[in-house]
Amino acid sequence: MRILLVSQYFHPEPFPINDLVRAWTERGHSVEVLTGMPNYPGGRLYPGYTWRGPYRERFAGAAVRRLPLITRGRRRGPRLALNYLSFAALGWLLAPRATRSDPEVVVAYAPSPITACLPALRLRRRRGVPVALWVQDLWPESLAATGALRSPRLLRLAARMVRGLYRRCDLVLVQSEAFVEPVRTLCPEVGRLRVLPNWASPLYRPLELAADAVERREMPDGFTILFAGNLGSSQALETVVAAADLLRDEPIHWVFVGDGNRRERLERESRRRGLDRVRFLGQRPPEQMPRYLALADVSLVSLRRDPTFAATVPAKVQSSLAAGKPILAALEGEGARVVEASGAGRVVAPEDPAALALAALDLHRLDVPALARLGENARRYAGRHFDREELVGRLDGWLHELIEERRCAS
């Protein structure tokens, strides 16, 4: 197949979509990516990128075309809205000229913002190519959940916009079963609607690091709970700092690897409380993240308490399962269901420091064989439910259907 991927976020930004491109090229597909300049989550352009480029690159055999955009900055608000709008607007204007391939199908990857699919729909209108939209965040629900929009009038306008986007796509994919009802309720006219869960990159697997591995020098000695990913408002990480405070006399280390708009605040709060066993390592390349996870005893997954987030399975759940790592989950809804069904760890309600502290202490008190059993449960569940080859093959079949229908109609 000749596939064009439209995604505001792409390598070196740490998103699961990177591995889909790698899987496609491994299968012999011709792939082109239309994306923005990398700046997630820290809000600054990554090293090696400036406003002068590079705007054309290669990744895993795919051609990557980048668009200029307004970086997201360190805080939410108008700057983040401009970041969203700049990619959607410039993509709408420039997509026909920026992409050089003649795709048979366009796939739009849509964590927030869903408006990132607008360039794909422009190509659909100009070239008659079918569009598949892979929804990672529910809009407008996530706008209300994060506080990005509070005006009922603006939320109604956003809902109308999202409904129009769903209607214009030939296939809408959602990341969990819990997304199906909200999408159909918002847009009863949606055509094909199918569930495609995220999976973990093959980089996430049980690893044994060498004694002189550089990551070992950064990780503490002793029982370690690792949070790896975006340190943002949606993750409710203030709860984690509060739980660490409750366990200040226990030999439990809490390590954060990543960046985001809450990082500075979390670091200040940890210093204010005098939490010597809380450590922030900062942003690391995606390919290094599995190595830090391998050195931790437990992987931490956390989201705020909100019905929208309850429908989501955070990608780090699949990554932790595939890595064979016990999980401490402050989640509700779909994410909690997956962790509980896997038998891979402990689940507590979101934003409850006392419950999180008790669960962490429970895991710390397990002996080595018991922790190993949790990790083995995780690995087996990932193999049964989030197998990369099976899921990519399922997606390829759906895309072939769209291509064949277009050929028959022309």
Establish whether domains 2-199+387-409 and 214-385 are of one fold: yes
Give the CATH class of 214-385.
alpha beta
331 token code pair: 């989640």
Q: What is the gyration radius of the CA atoms in the chain, in angstroms?
A: 21
Rounded mean pLDDT, 38-47:
93
Which pLDDT belongs to residue 320? Answer: 97
259-311 pLDDT tens trace: 998 999 999 999 999 999 999 999 999 899 999 999 999 999 999 999 889 99
Q: How far apart are CA 128 and CA 403, in angstroms?
A: 11
Could you give the CA distance from residue 389 to residue 85 in angstroms, rounded to a whole number? 34
**SS3 of the chain:** CEEEEECCCCCCCCCCHHHHHHHHHHCCCEEEEEEECCCCCCCCCCCCCECCECCEEEECCEEEEEECCCCCCCCCCHHHHHHHHHHHHHHHHHHHHHCCCCCCEEEEEECCCHHHHHHHHHHHHHHCCCEEEEECCCCCHHHHHHCCCCCHHHHHHHHHHHHHHHHHCCEEEECCHHHHHHHHHHCCCCCEEEECCCCCCCCCCCCCCCCCCHHHHCCCCCEEEEEECCCCHHHCCHHHHHHHHHCCCCCEEEEEECCCCCHHHHHHHHHHHCCCCEEEEECCCHHHHHHHHHHCCEEEEECCCCHHHHCCCCHHHHHHHHCCCCEEEECCCHHHHHHHHHCCEEEECCCCHHHHHHHHHHHHCCCHHHHHHHHHHHHHHHHHHCCHHHHHHHHHHHHHHHHHHHHHHC
In the chain, domain spans: 2-199+387-409, 214-385
Residues ≥6 apart with Cβ < 8 Å to 329: 300, 301, 302, 317, 335, 336, 339, 345, 346, 347, 348
What pLDDT sits at residue 146?
Answer: 72
In this predicted structure, the answer to whether residue 150 has a pLDDT above a threshold of 80 is no
What is the rounded CA–CA span in Å between residue 316 and residue 300? 9
Report whether pLDDT(76) > 70. Answer: no
Which pair of tokens denotes residue 56? 């054309």
Distance CA 192, CA 132 (A): 9
- Tens digit of each residue's pLDDT (9 = 90 or more) over 208-263: 998 889 999 999 999 999 999 999 989 999 999 999 999 999 999 999 999 998 99
What percent of the chain is predicted at pLDDT more than 90? Answer: 84
Read off the pLDDT of residues 117-135 as tens digits, 9 standing for 90 and up. Answer: 999 999 999 889 999 999 9
Least confident interval from 19-23, 75-79, 197-201? 75-79
Q: Classify domain 2-199+387-409 at the CATH superfamily level.
A: Glycogen Phosphorylase B; (3.40.50.2000)
- What's the confidence (pLDDT) of residue 78? 84
pTM of the model: 0.89
Phi, psi of 212 (to 5 degrees): -100, 15
Retrieve residue 52's tokens: 């002068």
